[in-house]
Amino acid sequence: MKIAVIGRSGQVAQALLERGAKQGLEIVCFGRPSLDLADEYSIVRALSSLQCDVVINAAAYTAVDRAESEEALATAINGRGAGAVADVAAKLGLPFLHISTDYVFAGDGKEPYSESDMTGPLSAYGRSKLAGEIAVMAANPRSAIFRTSWVYSPFGSNFVKTMLRLGETRSEVSVVADQVGSPTSAFDIADALISASRRIVAEPTNKDLFGVFHLTGTSEASWAEFAEAIFAFRASAGQPMVGVKPITTADYPTPARRPANSRLSCKKRELI
């Protein structure tokens, strides 16, 4: 099986390359300048030149706070760009897998969100990702959208790497304690995407494999609790323990509003 991955340097793209190599798959990643989500011709040129079985979009505008002042750019990439890739995949007769986010929800619910719950993004980033979901499903009915959250890995920028960096110079770190979600390994996402790709190739007419799915880690934590776990792991490796001071969202204002409840129910994904 050959998989075309849109995105080259992001956490999931890098995890797909590593996991694919171990499973004997051919993973071909496209990034700028050879493929630009804002340039449909570059998408057509890149995918048409590659005889692949599945297309996965792991590229996105992810600067959550900066998106508040760059919403048009975020929407061009996360919205129209995602839709353009899905459209090209459809014209080539290829299934399309797309990564979305918990930020499409308002986060004011008390329970984990299911795929059928009403969306209501609080931020420009969330709106751009929701626009992408809508564009993808309109362009290619053989699409599977995977909403995930709090992604971490050895690659790129993420919360784990930020905490480890701060732990090098601080004895205590203040971390928000009133936002709750599920930390998710990029490797677990990659494994799930590869598994879904295998099933879609094997069962191309199985409609249950398409639509919106939630895909997160199984544990729940606040950012502060996540930080505590990171520093405990660091201490187990012989490094000095770092304290965590729980604070509220109001204590740490950011340009973009974050969901207080980022928990996603993954029961639908477990059924397939």
Provide the pairing of β-strand 221-222 with 180-181. antiparallel
pLDDT at site 112: 95
Where would I find the H helices in the chain?
11-22, 40-48, 71-75, 82-91, 124-139, 159-167, 186-202, 223-236, 267-271
Catalytic residue among 103, 125, 152, 252: 125
pLDDT at site 269: 81
Containing 102, the helix (H) or strand (E) segment is none
Tell whether 267 is covered by a domain.
Answer: no
Residues 2-47: tens digit of each pLDDT? 999 998 889 999 999 999 999 889 999 988 878 888 788 888 888 8
pLDDT bucket at 136, cuts 50 / 70 / 90: very high
Q: Give 189 or 43, the one with higher predicted confidence.
A: 189
User: Comparing 23-37, 69-83, 142-156, which segment has the lowest mean pLDDT?
Assistant: 23-37
Tell whether 85 is covered by a domain.
Answer: yes
Q: How many residues does the chain have?
A: 272
pLDDT at site 156: 87
Quote the percentage of the chain above a pLDDT of 70: 99
pLDDT at site 263: 96
User: Comparing 31-40, 45-54, 207-216, which segment has the lowest mean pLDDT?
Assistant: 31-40
pLDDT bucket at 48, cuts 50 / 70 / 90: confident
252 catalytic, yes or no?
A: no
What amino acid is encoded at 132 in this protein?
G
Candidates 140, 123, 114; CA nearest to 64 is 123
Tell whether 251 is covered by a domain.
Answer: no
* Backbone dihedral region for residue 47 (phi beyond 0: left; psi -120 to 50: alpha; all else: beta): alpha
Judge whether residue 75 has pLDDT over 90: yes
Tell whether 149 is covered by a domain.
Answer: yes
Parent domain of 68: 2-158+183-219
Tell whether 245 is covered by a domain.
Answer: no
Tell whether 176 is covered by a domain.
Answer: no
Judge whether residue 271 has pLDDT over 80: no
* CATH at residue 71: 3.40.50.720
Tell whether 168 is covered by a domain.
Answer: no
Candidates 98, 94, 97, 95; CA nearest to 48 is 94
Domain count, the chain: 1
Contact 261, 191 (CB under 8 A): no
Quote the percentage of the chain above a pLDDT of 90: 82
User: What pTM did the predictor assign?
Assistant: 0.93
